[in-house]
Amino acid sequence: MIFRLALAELRNRPGRALFLLGGYSLGVAVMVVLLAVGEAMLNQARDAELVGGGDVVVVPAGISAEMLKSGGVSSLFLGIDHARFLHRNLLESPRGREDFGIEGVSPLLDGKQVELFAGDRRIAAIAAGEIPSRAQAAGAVPRLLSGGWRDSDADRRWLRPSSDELYREIDRFHIPPVRDSTWAEWHYFNVVLSEQRWVYVTLMVAGEVGVPGRWGGRILLTVREPDGTHRSLTRDLPGEQVRFDTASPDLRFGDRAYVRMRDGVYRVVADAEGVRVDLRVTPAPRRYFPPTELGGSELVSGYVTPALYATADGTVCAPVCEPVRGAQSYHDHNWGVWRDVSWEWGSASDARMSLLYGVVRGGGAGTEGLFAYLVDERGVRGVFRPGAVQFGETQPATVAGRTVRVPRRFAFQDARQGLRVDVEVAAVHVTDMNRPERRFFVQMRGVATVRERGKIVGRLPGFFETYVD
């Protein structure tokens, strides 16, 4: 019946019938072509040779396989933040190789705009680059028409820098992007002299750097004695006596105080009000957190931790000189604008594992939440995004004639990834910042109990900071 009706329509109105048939045919043809192209693109996205070799392609968070249909990772001009760190401490770390069977990782730089010069001609081009040994490991070595293709010294530094090269890469000073009186940048070290005694060492550059008379350096030494008392000692220097290096951690305050890094060891010399430290701080391999910079409308906040766990040797004179041998130590480096800023921060370590967590608040810091990071001698254990720190129990502390409530116990957790951290505070030092909000700065010493999927994986002694009103 349908066939007879179609023939009748064709006889009665042949032009309209043919036009309708042509329209349907065109639509079907377009769908066939689109499906064929989509299938071909998906096959290309899955083809190891077309996406740089290997079985897995690492792309930024939020990129899906559907986006890869447009021609692969390189055609999207995607970039991986902290690619060197991910390569060294995650993908090709001992944990990545032994626990996840990763044989090799090949970083690919593509879509880089360059200029070529041929005589008087200047030609704009797009260049790509790979590391020969890693491309070979991923099965993506190109066919060479002539010559050789092997790792350069720059490739070696990217893959396996020496300790000296690593710390020069991640730990260096910065020229302030703006002239702001609240700009500050500092090296911070803490050294545990005994269970009840430790010292904080800060060498800071602050102010409107580059403007004579409007910036300078400050040495801050805080000594915690066994009876619980703290001595905070300072020495200030004018800007003309301060020298810092934008290509290394080196910092010098006149002739008597400096931080200098050589062969992967930090030499820290500082004095203030009769107290002097002369230490060699040696970071443990792989126990670092890479440089990270947060920026908002008003805030620049940079942070790197070259030594989540280190050992310190030398002398501390406070004022009686005593030797320091193999003391547990920590080092970080901060920079930025610190107007009305507060934070939650903590670092805890033993010889096997390190924990770091933190968040910056105020001053246009944006909406970034708390992060937590676990690392050991085999590389990264995990990066977590816990909820807010929960202060479950407090205790009184006296500062500037006032009694304030400070934490005794607190906790945070990332339920999705199975991390829970409980901190029991053993010692507290409170500083009155004399400001309307988040007035009291609380420095704590305690033990962090770290659980993964309900199992205790570490009880780590450490230092923790917060602000209270």
Tell me what pLDDT residue 401 has.
84
% residues pLDDT > 70 (the chain): 87
Question: Per mean pLDDT, which range of 30-39, 162-171, 426-435 is the poorest?
Answer: 30-39
Q: With the CA atoms of 196, 425, 304 and 294 taken in that order, what torsion angle do they form, in degrees rounded to the nearest 10?
A: -150
Does residue 421 or residue 297 have the better pLDDT?
A: 421
Question: Per mean pLDDT, which range of 66-75, 80-89, 278-287 is the poorest?
Answer: 66-75
Q: Where are the domains of the chain?
A: 74-142+151-164, 165-339, 340-469
Average pLDDT, the chain: 88
Tell me what pLDDT residue 43 has.
64
- Measured CA distances, 136 to 72, 104, 139, 156, 278 (Å): 20, 9, 5, 15, 47
Tell me what pLDDT residue 297 has.
55
Tell me what pLDDT residue 458 has.
96
* pLDDT over 70 (residue 353): yes
- The answer to whether the CB of 191 falls within 8 A of the CB of 324 is yes
439 residue type, one letter: R
Q: What is the pLDDT of residues 367-393, one digit of tens each?
A: 568 999 999 999 999 999 999 999 989
Which residue in 237, 238, 258, 235 sits closest to 248, CA to CA? 258
Domain 165-339 and domain 340-469, same fold? Reply is: yes
Bond from prior residue into 177 cis (ω within 30 degrees of 0): no
- The answer to whether the CB of 203 falls within 8 A of the CB of 186 is yes
* pLDDT over 80 (residue 405): yes
What would the two tokens of residue 22 be? 């042509």
Please compute the mean of the pLDDT values over residues 78-96 and round it to a whole number: 90
Alpha-carbon gap, residue 407 to 468, rounded angstroms: 9
- Does CATH number 2.40.370.10 belong to domain 340-469? yes
What would the two tokens of residue 172 be? 């260096």
Tell me what pLDDT residue 162 has.
96
2 pLDDT band, cuts 50/70/90, is: low
Does residue 30 or residue 182 have the better pLDDT?
A: 182
Please compute the mean of the pLDDT values over residues 13-34 and round it to a whole number: 74
Helix axes 14-46, 2-12, angle to 10 degrees: 120
Tell me what pLDDT residue 419 has.
97
The string of DSSP codes covering 100-141 is H-------EEEEEEEEEEETTEEEEEEEEEE-HHHHHHTT-P
Q: What is the pTM of this model?
A: 0.84
Alpha-carbon gap, residue 316 to 270, rounded angstroms: 10
Please compute the mean of the pLDDT values over residues 138-164 and round it to a whole number: 90
Tell me what pLDDT residue 48 has.
54
Alpha-carbon gap, residue 160 to 88, rounded angstroms: 8
330-356: b (≥16 Cβ within 10 Å) or e:
bbbbbbbbbebbbbbbbbbbbeebbbb
Q: What is the pLDDT of residues 230-283, one digit of tens each?
A: 999 999 999 999 999 999 999 999 999 999 999 999 999 999 999 999 999 999
300-328: b (≥16 Cβ within 10 Å) or e:
bbebbbbbbbbbbbbebebeeeeebeebb
Q: Is the dihedral of CA 280, 285, 289, 291 positive or negative?
A: positive
Please compute the mean of the pLDDT values over residues 299-320 and round it to a whole number: 94
Fold of the domain built from segment(s) 165-339: AttH-like fold (2.40.370)
Tell me what pLDDT residue 79 has.
75
38 pLDDT band, cuts 50/70/90, is: low
Tell me what pLDDT residue 3 has.
64
The phi and psi torsions of 50 (rounded to 5 degrees) equal: -85, -15
Alpha-carbon gap, residue 461 to 445, rounded angstroms: 8
* pLDDT over 90 (residue 62): no
Q: Is the dihedral of CA 59, 62, 63, 64 positive or negative?
A: positive
Alpha-carbon gap, residue 65 to 47, rounded angstroms: 12
Tell me what pLDDT residue 380 has.
96
Please compute the mean of the pLDDT values over residues 416-429 and round it to a whole number: 96
* pLDDT over 80 (residue 22): no
- The answer to whether the CB of 232 falls within 8 A of the CB of 218 is no
Which residue in 77, 83, 78 sits closest to 106, CA to CA? 83
Does residue 219 or residue 70 have the better pLDDT?
A: 219
